[in-house]
Chains A and B, each alone.
Chain A
Amino acid sequence: MAVHEPEARQSYLVFACGSSWYAVPAESAAEVVTFPELTRVPGAPAHLLGVFAHRGEVIPVVDMGLLVAGVSQSSRRAVLVRLPRGTLGLTASTVAGVSPVTGALEPLGSAGVLVHLRGPAKSGPRDVAVIDPEGLFDHLSQGA
């Protein structure tokens, strides 16, 4: 099986949600914000915490702890991931900054959100799950 390595020149924004570390391609990471009170979306799954207005756009905020591990991680900060189809806020308890990632980019699972998290990879000494932004958008847009 071919093992895909992260491109050496690609940089990632590395952040934590609880005890888990994630990396998102830097070109997709628009900014880190402290979000205001969220508006809940009726019928939304628990990991979709709500939405807020930011620069004229409605930004949905996803609790990465709930989405990935089923454990809520209270945080008022979010990494905004911007794609042509919209922007997504991912809760972040700590933001380490932009750095390279080494290791593999294989899906961490065969079902659910783990299909869109890649690894095993490292950023410095930290084990990180590399987020595939397009795949994560697809996963969440299907009502997951």
Chain B
Amino acid sequence: MAPASPVRGMLFCHAGPHRLAFAAHEVLAISSPGEEADAASARLAFQAPAGAMRVLVAASGGGVGVDTLEIDAESHPVLPAPCVTVHASGGSLRGFVLARGVLWPLLGLADFERFLRGLRPGAA
């Protein structure tokens, strides 16, 4: 298994009670749901009703809605994702960040947004 490689600059988020992390350099802007009405709610990835307090806008233009977010400038190790988890998030899972004593799934923002878009009711 590949050794952990640290990542500096993270956004630690929650979707409902569930943890998510994104690399800060992938976030173009932080917006509100009112300004990004088309954003995909991260709650959908946990089979929960859509909803969000803040929206992370990717360079691709798409947005991911989360309930809480915290910017962290520290460097944290990233542990490889086990093989049984890599397909779960549509290939957007980059690994797991060990921070504050718990694991945070580290997701590629644009890929995760595309994955969420496919989970929306009525999505093809």
Contacts and interface: CB of A to CB of B under 8 A. Distances in A.
A56 interface: yes
Contacts of B105: 39, 41-42
Interface in A39-67: 39-45, 48, 51-53, 56-60, 62
B93 interface: yes
A44 B88 contact: yes
B82 A43 contact: no
Interface residues of B, number: 33
A43 B1 contact: no
Contacts of B50: none
Nearest to A50: B103
Given A51-B103, A52-B103, A58-B103, A42 B88 contact: yes
A141 B88 CA distance: 9
B106 to A, nearest CB: 11
A39 B80 contact: no
B112 interface: yes
Contacts of A42: 15, 18, 20, 42, 45-46, 88-89, 93, 105, 107, 112
B18 to A, nearest CB: 5
A141 B98 CA distance: 23
Given A51-B96, A140-B84, A141-B84, A39 B1 contact: no
Indicate the size class of the contact surface on chain A: 20 to 34
A13 interface: no
A129 B104 CA distance: 34
A86 B88 contact: no
B13 to A, nearest CB: 11
Q: Which of A43, A56, A86 has the most CB of B within 10 A?
A: A43
5 contacts: A39-B104, A41-B89, A43-B45, A51-B85, A86-B82
Interface of A: 37, 39-45, 48, 51-53, 56-60, 62, 85-88, 137, 140-143
**Closest CB pairs A-B (n = 4):** A42-B45, A143-B87, A140-B84, A44-B88
